[in-house]
Amino acid sequence: MIRKIPLLLPILFSTAFVLALADGAWLTKVPSRDHARLNPYQGQPDAIAAGRRIFLDHCSKCHGENAEGTKKRPALTSQRVQQQATVGDLHWLLVNGNMKKGMPSWAKLPDPQIWQVITYVKSLHDN
Amino acid sequence: MRNLAVCLLLFFLHVVYVSAQERPYFVTYSHEMEEPGNLDIEFFGVDGKPAAANRFVGSNLEFEYGVKAWWTSEFYLDGQITQHDSTIFTGYRWENRFRPLLREHWINPVIYVEFENTSADKALREVVGHDGVPDFATLNSIARQDKEREIETKLILGSNFRGWNLSENIIAEKNLSNDPWEFGYALAASRPLKLAANAYDCTFCPEKFQAGVEMYGGLGDRYSFGTRLTSQYLGPTVNWTAPNGTTFSFSPQFGLNDYSIPRLYRFGISYEIEQFLSRFRRGGN
């Protein structure tokens, strides 16, 4: 058994690392320049409506029709997304994805549409 | 067979489509992968009239599945119709695309590996080596005796910049029989007509359209690298995504030398089914 401990340690450490990533560790990877970015559509009603349409097209199947989350995918109404993450953090996440965790890159969407989705997601906090 | 076709049609009419945001490319691959769990079903056709040969329509039916965010797998069924000749099934292809860098960079590489088993193929999904007009002059009954079992590899490079997508493909293909490596390339650029989405549902608003240009051709083989005796094509391309998510694409393409078919008309239709496998699980919708 003692001989097996050195073999088990890397497995335990890597499991802990994966679990840490699952709870929003991506936030720590956002460069400060991206973290500080501002949303050009902040609070604009048209952008919220447009963002809702894009969200229903591309995001709702995984994150729920009202961003409430599904069995395997996180809610976007959580405290982490609504308060902890800045709009710049969310923009970085949408552009880069979190591919190891199954979140694809949405860089295929034009930048204004990414900001519109973020405007919609952040508006859920106000509701 | 007809029952199977009806069942498939009914199934696809009852699933939920999403706006695919497909690039309007027919030959060039962008670095953008299929979203994990989504199944994209695409039909692409090409119509051409080579000099001194019969008009043809080549086609692919493609099933593209997002295995992981960094891995897309695709299965193709190919066929063709040649005027005054015959309609035949020409074979299948299986491709996999892998994205080695898991973040978005100014240029993003994707590794592409494909196995194909075709004969008398006229789908023109890639042009390599010395592919050209003489290949189309052979009767289907003779051409299909020549089985092509090939491995095709591509280095896909893609960038997104201010709404533009720029994609470059470098192609190397090897017939598993004793043929040399053949080479080719494809380049494309496209952009949505409007970058921001409309606040209200609309059918023909500019953001539903993408337009661009595509160019591709052969680069000879291991023993005769270059553009001599190769076919080269260039043309504008456009697509439109309907409100139900179905994307229609069209591109007239022009042969740039005598070794090319003078004009090709490419058309495509695609629709994406979100979270395809979850529909078969208990509680899936």
Q: Which of A10-19, B153-162, B181-190, B265-274 has the lowest mean pLDDT?
A: A10-19
pLDDT of residue B178: 82
Report d(CA A11, CA B51) in Å as an integer.
Answer: 64
Here the tokens at position A101 are 């965790």
**Among B250, B248, B1, residue whose Cα is nearest residue B9:** B1
Asked if the model's pLDDT at residue B106 lies above 70, the reply is: yes
Count of domains for chain B: 1
B21 contact residues in A (CB cutoff 8 A): 58, 108-109
- A12 in any annotated domain: no
CA dihedral A41, A43, A49, A53 (to 10 degrees): 60
How would you label B29-64 residue by residue, b for 16+ Cβ within 10 Å and e otherwise? bbbbbbbbbbbbbbebbbbbebeebeebbbbbebeb
Q: What is the mean pLDDT of chain B?
A: 91
- B100 in any annotated domain: yes
- B275 in any annotated domain: yes
- B45 in any annotated domain: yes
CA dihedral B4, B6, B10, B11 (to 10 degrees): 20
The CATH number covering residue B113 comes to 2.40.160.40
A51 contact residues in B (CB cutoff 8 A): 197
- B268 in any annotated domain: yes
**Among B76, B77, B157, residue whose Cα is nearest residue B112:** B157
Structural domain for A108, as ranges:
24-126
Q: Nearest CA to CA, how far is A42 from chain B (Å)?
A: 14
B18/A47 touch (CB, cutoff 8 Å), yes or no = no
pLDDT of residue B162: 92
Q: Per-residue pLDDT tens for A44-71? A: 999 999 999 999 999 998 999 999 998 8
The pTM for the full model equals: 0.87
Structural domain for B217, as ranges:
2-280
Asked if the model's pLDDT at residue A34 lies above 90, the reply is: yes
A34 contact residues in B (CB cutoff 8 A): none
Report d(CA B17, CA B170) in Å as an integer.
Answer: 32
Report d(CA B65, CA B240) in Å as an integer.
Answer: 22
Count of domains for chain A: 1
- A11 in any annotated domain: no
B21/A108 touch (CB, cutoff 8 Å), yes or no = yes
- A82 in any annotated domain: yes
A95 contact residues in B (CB cutoff 8 A): 104
pLDDT of residue A9: 55
- B285 in any annotated domain: no
Q: Nearest CA to CA, how far is A79 from chain B (Å)?
A: 25
- B76 in any annotated domain: yes
B275/A112 touch (CB, cutoff 8 Å), yes or no = no
Best to test chain B binding among A54, A72, A99 (most B CBs inside 10 Å):
A99
